Amino acid sequence: MNVSKAFWSWVKCFLTERTQHVNLHGVISSSAPCPAGVPQGSVISPTLFNIYINDLENTLTNNFTNTHKYADDCTLDEVVANGALSNVQESTNQVMNWANDNKMVVNPKKTKDMWISFSQSSPEPPPIQTDGIEIERVNSFKLLGVWVQNDLKWNTHVCKTTKRANKLLFLLRECRKYFLPPEIGLLTYTSKIRPILEYASPVWGGIPKYLDVEIERVQQRSLRILGLETCNELKRIVEVPNNQCNRFLSGNKNHTYELEGLETALQDSSQKHTGIVRLLSQGRVD
């Protein structure tokens, strides 16, 4: 990696001959050596770990399987055409060999297998195994905080997200219980609850209306707990001409748009993506 000898020597000195002990209720255990790993909490430890797993892709001999790494999470994916064989099992075996050579352990219980296909004529590939243990095939799984389904819908993600956000509404009730200013409640909502609802929204943001309503209900419930007005109150303000709040609202604006150019662009885009749609409808992903 073209690092200097001085830096290499410093890293070697930083990692070797380290010891650890346990402090339990003021009682300190005897020290034990740490023959592997990096110190937890150190600033340079994440960088050293990324360097350690940097050559994982080099172990994959086929060009059909893609590798995606994030921290200590690794995902393999492959698009398999109808009638072709999957290479995921071969790639999994190579990853396992790399892990054994680098003194790392892959947890089969935390490893999941998902098969996506919209063609009923495509038979499912055989289950994937690691060290003789069959990997569980699931219909949905959580990948970097986003729930993905094998039908590419977002019902599970919205359900899990709203359930998690609703559990935190007690924070807003505590703000109301102790008569804290509305600004405190809004700050609690925007910092604790709303980030959960909006996490990775560029990925799943194209959800249908009925799922969008489920997320909107969490926000409406939060406003009611804080005693703040909702969009219904805004409608009542607009309907009353002499309402003092009308001075904060801008007047109606008339817009004219040329839709002819937009329609042409959409037609061109549809023609360009026909091949991709056909690939998704005929292929499957392990």
And the tokens for 259? 């839709």
Q: pLDDT tens digits for 92-114?
A: 999 999 999 998 888 888 999 99
Mean pLDDT value across the chain: 84
* Res 282 pLDDT > 70: no
Give residue for tokens 């070797």.
16
Q: pLDDT tens digits for 219-265?
A: 999 988 988 765 566 677 777 778 777 777 766 666 555 545 545 55
Domain shared by 165 and 231, yes or no: yes
Domain shared by 146 and 158, yes or no: no
Asked if the structure places residue 197 within a domain, the reply is yes
Cα atoms found within 13 Å of the Cα of residue 13, Cβ hemisphere only: 6
| pLDDT at residue 285, rounded to an integer | 39
Instruction: Give me the mean pLDDT over the 21-29 stretch.
Output: 94
| pLDDT at residue 247, rounded to an integer | 73
> At residue 237, what are phi and psi to the nearest 5 degrees?
-65, -45
Domain boundaries, position 197: 154-238
In 1-106, where does DSSP find H-type helix?
5-15, 45-52, 88-101
Asked if the structure places residue 259 within a domain, the reply is no
Q: Determine whether 64 is exposed, middle or buried from the number of CB atoms within 10 Å of its CB (0-12, 13-18, 19+).
A: middle
Cβ-defined contacts of 73-82 (< 8 Å, 24+): 73/144, 75/143, 76/286, 77/285, 77/286, 78/285, 78/286, 79/279, 79/283, 79/284, 79/285, 80/125, 80/283, 80/284, 80/285, 80/286, 81/282, 81/283, 82/119, 82/121, 82/122, 82/282, 82/283
Give pTM, 2 decimals: 0.72
Cα atoms found within 13 Å of the Cα of residue 209, Cβ hemisphere only: 0
Domain shared by 96 and 161, yes or no: no
| pLDDT at residue 275, rounded to an integer | 38
Domain shared by 234 and 164, yes or no: yes
Amino acid identity, position 88: V
DSSP state string for 141-185: EEETTEEEETT---HHHHHHHHHHHHHTHHHHHHHHHTT--HHHH
What is the domain count for the chain?
Answer: 2
| pLDDT at residue 139, rounded to an integer | 95
CA 62/CA 84 separation, integer angstroms: 14
Domain shared by 141 and 275, yes or no: yes
CA 191/CA 183 separation, integer angstroms: 12
Asked if the structure places residue 257 within a domain, the reply is no
Asked if the structure places residue 115 within a domain, the reply is yes
Asked if the structure places residue 32 within a domain, the reply is no
3-state secondary structure at position 259: helix
Domain shared by 132 and 202, yes or no: no
Residues in contact with 214: Cβ distance below 8 Å, sequence separation at least 6, in sequence order: 158, 159, 162
Domain shared by 128 and 174, yes or no: no
Asked if the structure places residue 15 within a domain, the reply is no
Instruction: Give me the mean pLDDT over the 120-139 stretch.
Output: 89
And the tokens for 34? 């740490």
Q: pLDDT tens digits for 31-84?
A: 999 988 898 889 999 999 999 999 998 888 888 899 999 888 899 999 988 888
Domain shared by 166 and 227, yes or no: yes
Asked if the structure places residue 190 within a domain, the reply is yes
3-state secondary structure at position 228: coil
Asked if the structure places residue 177 within a domain, the reply is yes
3-state secondary structure at position 285: strand
Instruction: Provide, rounded to the nearest whole percent, the portion of the chain with pLDDT above 90.
Output: 55
Domain shared by 183 and 132, yes or no: no
CA 49/CA 41 separation, integer angstroms: 12
Q: Determine whether 141 is exposed, middle or buried from the number of CB atoms within 10 Å of its CB (0-12, 13-18, 19+).
A: middle
- From the centroid of its chain, how far is CA 82? 29
And the tokens for 114? 């998902």
